[in-house]
Amino acid sequence: MIIALSIAIVVQWALLLGLCTAVLLLFRQVGMLHERLGPVGALTLPGGVTVGDRAPRFDLEAVGGGAVALGGEEGRGRDTLLFFLSPRCPMCKSLIPIVKSIAREESSSLRVILASDGDEDLQRTMIADERLEAFPLVLSTELGMAYAVSKLPYAVLIKADGHVAAKGLVNNREHLESLFEARRRGVASLQQYLDKGRAPLKQVQQRTVA
C-alpha cells in the first residue's frame, strides 16, 4: 500500500513537472512570435503616396478654425501622425484614447492631425463627445485620395523633413506603435518586413535543393 502510494505521488510530480515544462515552452514560443511581429509596420494598402516619398503639400482649415499645413517641413522639428477616422467608425473611436496617449508621450517630437470627410456637424459632435479639441481635425477628400485611404482606421507617419516614414491600417495600439518602430528600423510595411524574412529562407532552400 505504501509503495503504491509512493509511486502515485512520484507519477503526479512527474506529470506536474511535465506540465510546467510545457507551459514554459509555450510562453517561450509566444515570446518569440511577439518579438518577430513586434517591429512589423501596419498593413499598407496599395496605391497612394509611397513610403520614402515627400508628403504632398496640403493647406487646409481645421474644423472650428485654424490653418493646418501638411507636407514640406511644416512639423517644425516634429514628426506628424496623420490619423484618418470617421464618426461612424467604432474601431476609430476605440483608438482615440490610444492616439491621445501617444500624443502625450511623444509631445516633444510629434504632432497629431486628425483627418476625415463628410458631414461637418457629425465631425463637431465627435470632437465634443471624444474631447478632441486639442487636435486639429481637417475635412478633405483629396487628402484621403492622396494616401489611397479606402479602409479605416488608417494612419500615416510623416517625418519632420516632410517624407513619409510609414503608413497603414491600424486596429490597435501595437499597430500604431509599429509605425514608429517601422521608421526606426527602416521598414515600410508589413509586406516588406515579411518579404525580408522570407528571402534568407528561400536562399537556404535553393542551396539545399542544389
Q: pLDDT tens digit string along 32-59? A: 444 444 445 577 777 889 989 999 999 9
Nearby residues of 171 by Cβ (< 8 Å), 6 or more positions away: 91, 95, 153
For residues 182-209, give the mean pLDDT. 57
Is the residue at 134 inside a domain?
A: yes
Do 15 and 117 sit in the same domain of this protein? no
- Give, as one character, the DSSP assignment of residue 41: P
pLDDT at 104 over 50: yes
Confidence category of residue 162, pLDDT binned at 50, 70, 90: very high
**Same domain as 106, residue 184:** yes
Q: What are the grid coordinates assigned to 148, written together?
A: 489611397
How far apart (Å, rounded) are the C-alpha atoms in residues 195 and 107? 33
One domain for residues 64 and 112: yes
- Residue 204 falls within a domain, yes or no? no
4's grid cell: 503504491
Give me the chain's average pLDDT, please: 81
In a domain, 202, yes or no: no
Higher pLDDT, 97 or 35: 97
- Tell whether 172 is covered by a domain: yes
Q: Examine the domain organization and report whether 150 and 119 are in the same domain.
A: yes
Pairwise CA distance, residues 158 & 166, whole Å: 7
Residue 199: inside a domain? no
Considering its fold, how many domains does the chain have in total?
2
Supply the range of the domain harboring residue 33.
Answer: 1-37
Euclidean distance between CA atoms 19 and 85, whole angstroms: 46
81 and 17 assigned to the same domain? no
Q: What stretches of the chain show up as alpha helix (H) in DSSP?
A: 2-37, 90-105, 120-130, 141-146, 173-185, 190-209
User: In whole angstroms, how far apart are CA 71 and each of 53, 76, 79, 124, 170?
Assistant: 11, 11, 11, 25, 22
Q: Is residue 149 in a domain?
A: yes
Residues 76 and 152 in one domain: yes
Which band of pLDDT confidence, cut at 50, 70 and 90, is reported for residue 157?
A: very high
Cell 517630437 belongs to 109
Assess whether 170 and 95 both reside in one domain. yes
Query: Quick one: cell of 50?
Result: 509611397
The set of residues, in sequence order, having a beta carbon less than 8 Å from that of 34 and lying 6+ positions away, is none
Q: What is the CATH number of the domain that holds 173?
A: 3.40.30.10
Co-location of 29 and 67 in the same domain: no
| Co-location of 22 and 63 in the same domain | no
